[in-house]
Amino acid sequence: MKDINMIIEELKTNDKFRYKHSVGVMETAMELAKIHGEDVEKIKIAGFLHDYAKMYSNEKLREYVKEYNLDLDPMLIYTKDLCHGPVGAELIKERFNVTDEIILNSIRYHTFADRNMSKFDMILYLADLIEPNRKVFSGYYKIKKLAYTDVEAAMIVALDKSIKYILEKGEKLYVESVELRNRLLD
Ligand SMILES: [Fe+2]
Ligand SMILES: [Fe+2]
């Protein structure tokens, strides 16, 4: 693959790329990976590039879903913002030659917690929530504290929060996220 430091340089000046947030997620994810014994170099790439597809409109993202023939649950395609994960994974594979499935999966799943998420995937998911440039939300400090000591416990709190939020808005739940929460509770 292309050297990650070169990609970082290259995307610095792209005004549609969320550079500050991406660096924040990258640094937080690297810190967490170090603590929890996951691959720091791989999570550096995943952290920096996780929102790569976010510079495209929802319309454009749906076009990519067709173009790449992605087999996604329709609710992931039509709920705003959920398909930038899976589309992003395809784009960075093609544009930066990232082929490592551990990296690609964590990017795919960061938008909609999948039932089979690994610890690596959870670290990226949590880093996205707690990176220092994020606006503080209720539960932020609790999730942040837990993320450094117990990834699964942090993930349960994060899922609870997200599920509550979806219920309050009266929207559909993604069944796999509920299944993941059940798995973690066991
Ligand atoms: Fe994202
Ligand atoms: Fe993000």
Strand ranges inside 75-165, DSSP E: none
Report how far ligand 1's centroid is from the alpha carbon of 72 (Å).
17
> Helices then strands (H, E): number in the chain?
11, 0
Q: What is the mean pLDDT of the chain?
A: 95
**What letter would DSSP give residue 142?**
H
Report how far ligand 1's centroid is from the alpha carbon of 61 (Å).
13
Angle formed by the axes of helices 101-109 and 119-130, nearest 10°: 50
Report how far ligand 1's centroid is from the alpha carbon of 69 (Å).
20
At 4-49, the pLDDT tens digits run 999 999 999 999 999 999 999 999 999 999 999 999 999 999 999 9
The ligand with the least distance to the CA atom of 47 is 2
Report how far ligand 1's centroid is from the alpha carbon of 49 (Å).
9
What CATH number labels 4-135? 1.10.3210.10
**Ligand 1 ion: Cβ-proximal residues, 5 Å cutoff:** 51
What residue ranges do the domains of the chain occupy? 4-135
Closest CA to 118 of 21, 43, 19, 52: 43
Closest CA to 150 of 186, 178, 122: 122
The ligand with the least distance to the CA atom of 134 is 2
For residue 71, how far is the Cα from the chain centroid?
18
Report how far ligand 1's centroid is from the alpha carbon of 76 (Å).
13
At 109-151, the pLDDT tens digits run 999 999 999 999 999 999 999 999 999 999 999 999 999 999 9
Using a cut of 0.75, tell me whether the model's pTM lies above it.
yes
Q: Which amino acid is at 123?
A: I
